[in-house]
Amino acid sequence: MQPSRILPDLQCSLVCEQVRREANGNFFLIGVMDGLILPKFPIVVPALCVFNRWTSGMGQFVCSLRLVAPDQTSLVQKGDVKFEMQDPNRNATTLLILQRIQFQEPGLYFIEVSVDDVMKVRYPIPVLAPPESVRKPAGEAPPPTDMTQ
């Protein structure tokens, strides 16, 4: 007897600037990040993409993503996407795009990825201010606080 539902494994989760799909179906990830350096705080970042690849599952699922603040309790933003896997020998990809993310302060933020309320991974995303030596000299106009403008 073959099971009708198998909870998938998370093969990878990557934060990037953009994701595009080529004509042959392959994904093209642009600007894979291991952190952010932002000019000032608070600031609004236009968008971040979270690319997740699932494997060894079968059935219908909900992928949930949470961006958690440095205090490890405050929710900055969240998103959900439904997906289906019909064959445990095939992969599935989910893409969540967080938009207009407000970072109140620098610090260690966390990405949490769950499937059907089962957390699969939690990983840090450092959000930093630039070092003093890189900041603009006094007298120059400061950068806008909303990066979408």
Q: What digits encode the pLDDT tens for the residues 42-101?
A: 999 999 999 999 999 999 999 999 999 999 999 999 999 999 999 999 999 999 999 999
CA-based end-to-end distance of the chain: 57
User: pTM value?
Assistant: 0.86
CB crowding 23-53: b at 16 or more within 10 Å, else e = eeeeeeeeeeeeebebeeeebbbeebbbbbb
Banded pLDDT at 149 (limits 50, 70, 90): low
- Mapped onto helix, strand or coil, the DSSP state of residue 73 is coil
Cα 140–Cα 145–Cα 146 angle in degrees, nearest 5: 130
Instruction: Please choose, from the candidates 25, 23, 15, the residue with its C-alpha nearest in 3D space to the C-alpha of residue 92.
Output: 25
The stretch 20-47 carries a mean pLDDT of 96
Q: What digits encode the pLDDT tens for the residues 102-140?
A: 999 999 999 999 999 999 999 999 999 998 766 555 556
Q: 83: which 2 tokens?
A: 């997906």
Instruction: Please choose, from the candidates 14, 37, 2, 5, the residue with its C-alpha nearest in 3D space to the C-alpha of residue 116.
Output: 5
* Coarse DSSP helix, strand, coil percentages of the chain, rounded to the nearest 5 percent: 0, 60, 40
Fold classification of 9-128 is Immunoglobulin-like (2.60.40)
Burial class (CB within 10 angstroms; exposed 0-12, middle 13-18, buried 19+) of 84: exposed
How many Å apart are CA 148 and CA 100, to the nearest integer? 8
